[in-house]
Amino acid sequence: MAMNLLWIIGASFLGFTIAAVFAGILKLKRNVYLLFYIPLVIAFFLAFAILNDLNIKSLVIYNWGWGLLGTAIASAFVIRNVLSQPSSERHKGVALVSDIIWPGFTYGLSDALLLSVIPIVAVNLAFSDSVWINGWPEKVGIGGIALIASILVTTIYHLGYPEFRGKKVVWPIIGNGILSLAYLLTMNPLAAILPHIGMHITAMVHGRETTGQVPPHYDD
């Protein structure tokens, strides 16, 4: 159990440090910032998966039908929120495709792994051998702990960005909380991963400079 707690602490520390250093201090442009964020997060997830002997295929196909249903419902919430924010000029041609692939798909995937998948799986692994888990009350309790772990990682990570050091941090907590809840209710990670990717892609198409879902942003 202690080792799984360390993974949650590690995810929080990694996310905060990357955001605080490369966005907060160095103020790198988004696409350059992601050259550090994405490889580090993917490497952390792979280490988590390998050291815990995760069967990623089994994780993805378990309850996949419910996962897709959760994807549709959660996507409606988060994409609607993106579209409610001010729009900004989008790129065209190759630049637009790059926006969709890099800060859209790949950034969204990385965020979902760090903020939802790792903390939820870590909590589930921590309690996987507990003999006292024999009913729904216990399972609901573990789900609540997993949701708190996801919220913890999400909060600490976003506080690394100067733009979220204040009341604005509430919005990513709510948004990612919905996605993590979708994962917990369906027990399929696609319900968190696919809406997060869709949210990022929508943000890059609708308002890459004005939507809060794709930090960092800097005041001119």
pLDDT in tens, 43-72: 999 999 999 999 999 999 999 999 999 999
Q: Which residues touch 10 (CB under 8 Å, ≥6 apart)?
A: 44
Contact present, 160 and 13 (Cβ < 8 Å): no
Q: 27 vs 34, 48, 219, CA distance in Å? A: 12, 29, 11
> For residue 180, how many other CB atoms are within 10 A of its CB?
30
* Helix/strand number for the chain, H first, E second: 10, 0
What pLDDT shows up at residue 189? Answer: 98
Which tokens belong to 113? 């792994």
What pLDDT shows up at residue 79? Answer: 97
**pTM of the prediction?**
0.95
Span 67-81, average pLDDT? 97
pLDDT digits (tens, 9 = 90+) for 164-207: 999 999 999 999 999 999 999 999 999 999 999 999 999 999 99
Among 202, 203, 176, 201, residue whose Cα is nearest residue 191:
176
214 pLDDT more than 60 = yes
C-alpha–C-alpha distance, residues 127 and 122, integer Å: 9
C-alpha–C-alpha distance, residues 113 and 132, integer Å: 29
154 pLDDT more than 80 = yes
Among 201, 208, 219, 217, residue whose Cα is nearest residue 78:
201
Among 199, 153, 198, residue whose Cα is nearest residue 173:
153
Instruction: Measure CA 197 to chain center.
Output: 9
Which tokens belong to 101? 């692939």
What pLDDT shows up at residue 97? Answer: 97
- Tell me the torsion sign for CA atoms 122, 128, 129, 134: positive
**DSSP output for 70-109:** HHHHHHHHHHHHHHTSPP-PPP-THHHHHHIIIIIIIHHH
